[in-house]
């Protein structure tokens, strides 16, 4: 497997686990438990980028962290997306 694709595959797995970290989800109107309703999906993966998608159960600001190495030694913060019912709670 191409080294870049393998690294991005590992990156996507790290992103999935990071999305489950409550600190990355924030909501002013949060229900008792804010969670991902459809898990995390990735697509359009190239050696240099990937699209990450998820859906939450309430209005929230969704963020992601990523790293280019499997040990996550130098994490980077990706953009944060505000979502609500007008976006069907997707980010």
Pairing of strands 36-43, 25-26: unpaired
Q: What distance in Å separates the CA atoms of residue 88 and residue 74, rounded to the nearest whole number?
A: 33
Tokens at 10, concatenated: 């590992």
Q: Against a cut of 0.75, is the pTM above it? A: no
User: Which residues have C-beta within 8 Å of that of residue 1, sequence separation ≥ 6?
Assistant: 9
Phi, psi values for residue 61, rounded to 5°: -105, 120
Of 27, 84, 86, 17, the closest CA to residue 52 belongs to 17
Tens-level pLDDT at each residue, the chain (91 residues): 455 555 554 555 445 444 444 444 555 555 568 888 988 898 898 888 889 999 999 999 998 888 888 898 999 988 899 999 999 999 9
């Amino acid at each position: 497997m191409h080294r870049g694709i393998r690294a991005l595959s590992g990156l996507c797995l790290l992103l999935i686990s990071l999305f489950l970290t409550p600190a990355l989800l924030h909501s002013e109107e949060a229900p008792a438990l804010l969670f991902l309703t459809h898990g995390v999906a990735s697509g359009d993966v190239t050696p240099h980028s990937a699209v990450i998608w998820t859906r939450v159960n309430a209005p929230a600001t969704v963020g992601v962290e990523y790293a280019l190495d499997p040990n996550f030694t130098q994490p980077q913060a990706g953009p944060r997306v505000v979502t609500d019912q007008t976006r069907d709670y997707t980010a």
